[in-house]
Amino acid sequence: MTTDCGLVGSRYVYIYTYNITTTKCSTWNIVRTVETRRVGGAGNFPSMPTPSRGRCGSMKFHTEYLTLHTKTKRAYVHLTPQVESALKKSGIKDGMILVSAMHITAGVYVNDNESGLIKDIDQWLETLAPFRQNYQHHQTGEDNGDAHLKSLIIHHEVIVPVTNGKLDFGPWQQIFYAEFDGQRDKRVIIKVMGE
């Protein structure tokens, strides 16, 4: 916004120039400049406060969807790079990221990217929630009762903190998608929320 004002009979014209820029994500920048031009007469303007730069309401949301199609029925897919990429695109410096499976036979967890441990996790989940024929869910024609229970143990989503534009993780924390009924397209939502 630029405002130019002349006062009748004054010696001066004060030209107040405000530039207010709005962006898609609601950030306002105000830059004030003031010029004084002699016109005639005695200026009688009240003093003008200086808003200088104001920052206001820069909350942003960025949502992405990944499609995963694993070759095996059960699989563990490292997702940290994709989440970091979504964060970078969002431009968010401080906030939280929701990473969530959009299915009820898959999960998302945070743990080590170590192949031995991933095998341990897979065997352990099979012990706690084994594949078997006689789940009552199978009366619907499904055969993936164990995948639902494995998903419940691992949990279907995580929240990742973001600080200074980076995943605020400890040194070994990595994000994994856990597939328990794969060999078909499955989706993950990544929602970044912050400033």
Q: Is 32 in the site for a copy of itself (CB under 8 A)?
A: yes
Q: Is 169 in the site for a copy of itself (CB under 8 A)?
A: yes
Is residue 52 helix, strand or coil? coil
Give the burial string for 111-124 (b: 16+ CB within 10 Å, else e).
Answer: beeeeeebeebeee
Query: Which of residues 68, 83, 86, 156 is near a copy of itself by CB under 8 A?
Result: 156
Residue ranges in 37-66 that form contacts with a copy of itself under rule CB under 8 A: 39-40, 45-49, 51-59, 61, 63
Query: Which of residues 5, 78, 81, 166 is near a copy of itself by CB under 8 A?
Result: 5
Q: Is 89 in the site for a copy of itself (CB under 8 A)?
A: no
Neighbour-count burial of 38, counting CB atoms closer than 10 A to its CB (0-12 exposed, 13-18 middle, 19+ buried): exposed
Closest-CA residue to 16 (of 48, 58, 55): 48
Q: Is 73 in the site for a copy of itself (CB under 8 A)?
A: no
Q: Is 189 in the site for a copy of itself (CB under 8 A)?
A: yes
Kind of pairing between the strands at 174-179 and 95-101: unpaired
By CB under 8 A, the count of residues binding a copy of itself is 95
Minimum distance from residue 73 beta carbon to a copy of itself (Å):
18
- Alpha-carbon distance 101 to 107, whole Å? 6
Q: Is 187 in the site for a copy of itself (CB under 8 A)?
A: yes
